[in-house]
Amino acid sequence: DPVRAAAGLRARLGGRGAAAVEDALKSLGDAIEQADMCGLEIPPAAFEGMEETVLGAGLDGGTLARCAATIPGLRTRRMAQAAVEGLRRAGPLPDPVEGTAGTARLPDPGEAAFLEVAAPGGFRALLREWAARDPAGCSEAVGWARGLLLLMGDPATGPILARWVRGNPDILLPGG
């Protein structure tokens, strides 16, 4: 039931940590998918005021992007800009240390596409900032940024990306 899932998400946004929010978003996404498959409409009132709730919850930028991509009505410029600013504030996330659970997350490809469409200038600037960094200690985040810029065909980072690709024979180029 998407209405109950939305209520559960609201409750979990009250400071129970990123893992609880991720679980609630997964439940909500599953409920929305099931409702769609059954041809059920989700009442718009179920998510009324959710943008303010999410923005006031102190979530990291990656989780804000996930919320915007999952919760109906939250694919807004305001959410995208808040997610990009959250990612910028955090800086390139440190590589996960084996055996520990990280709290912040990088947006997945669908969430990144949303950020590129809804906050293009800020998102590309963030990716360029991260792509230009030395990847020591944050190679996952730097590689994520470089990979997205490569897929986008970003001319401003051409020299950085060309050096990166030459130094990494494992990278598969489109059409190659």
pLDDT at position 117 is 95
The pTM of this model reads 0.80
CB 53 within 8 A of CB 94: no
Q: C-alpha distances in angstroms, 144 versus 21, 96, 115, 155? A: 23, 14, 14, 17
pLDDT digits (tens, 9 = 90+) for 131-148: 988 877 778 888 889 989
> Is pLDDT above 90 for 114?
yes
Round to whole Å and give the CA distance between 145 and 123: 10
Which residue matches tokens 């060309």? Answer: 162
User: Residue 100 has what pLDDT?
Assistant: 46
pLDDT in tens, 59-111: 889 889 999 998 888 999 999 999 999 999 888 776 665 544 454 678 988 99
Mean of the pLDDT values across residues 11-33? 76
Q: What is the average pLDDT score of the chain?
A: 82
Q: How far apart are CA 44 and CA 3, in angstroms?
A: 10
The DSSP output letter for 163 is H
Looking at residue 174, its pLDDT comes to 62
